[in-house]
Chains A and B, each alone.
Chain A
Amino acid sequence: AQTVTQSQPEMSVQEAETVTLSCTYDTSESDYYLFWYKQPPSRQMILVIRQEAYKQQNATENRFSVNFQKAAKSFSLKISDSQLGDAAMYFCAYSKSGGSNYKLTFGKGTLLTVNP
């Protein structure tokens, strides 16, 4: 079974600074997807960024980028120029490729606080 581990229950960052959230996973599959989802307080969860395992290039979405290390099964999220609106619970998630890519396996989450 696939597992996703987020070892940082909480992180904090100063506004405008950079923060990195860690995630490791375990799978025997060679092709899969990895995601970071953001869940603001009392708001719906939204997809921040997605990485396809067969792509070596790290995904980037504006201020959000990932460091995908396939051999190490590591998938960290870097948030640059942190903003107050980035404060949220961040979940790392995994899915197989193909027809089951809707069935996400989530980590326990990292609560990010942004200090003004």
Chain B
Amino acid sequence: DTGVSQNPRHKITKRGQNVTFRCDPISEHNRLYWYRQTLGQGPEFLTYFQNEAQLEKSRLLSDRFSAERPKGSFSTLEIQRTEQGDSAMYLCASRPAGGSAGELFFGEGSRLTVL
């Protein structure tokens, strides 16, 4: 399968713990995005990478959240000191340079449950 891969698919953690999600984009895609989807809502933009550079961060991305994309390949999203409000599906998407406007290739998501 050459689609966007996200791991783990589901993470259950206790409040206050740190969690990290990984995203492997489609290999030739240099642009990578993180979105968050809470129950009953559509996805919301979190952050955007072009190669290894993080070019934009939403105000939704508090200082407890950090995203990286070393070497412009896979990306990680870390949440420190998790809170119950962090429970959501975290979606990763990628697209190639010059790709069609608005066409993002999404992964299946990583679901976070904070107890």
Contacts and interface: CB of A to CB of B under 8 A. Distances in A.
B44 A47 contact: no
Nearest to A6: B42
A37 to B, nearest CB: 8
Given A44-B107, A102-B48, A108-B40, A97 B4 contact: no
Contacts, number: 59
B45 A108 contact: no
B44 to A, nearest CB: 7
A50 B101 contact: yes
Contacts of B108: 42-44
Interface in B44-65: 44-45, 48, 56
B42 A91 contact: yes
Contact of A104 (B3, B56, B102): B102
A95 B41 contact: no
Given A44-B107, A45-B106, A50-B100, A106 B43 contact: yes
Contact of B44 (A43, A95, A101, A106): A106
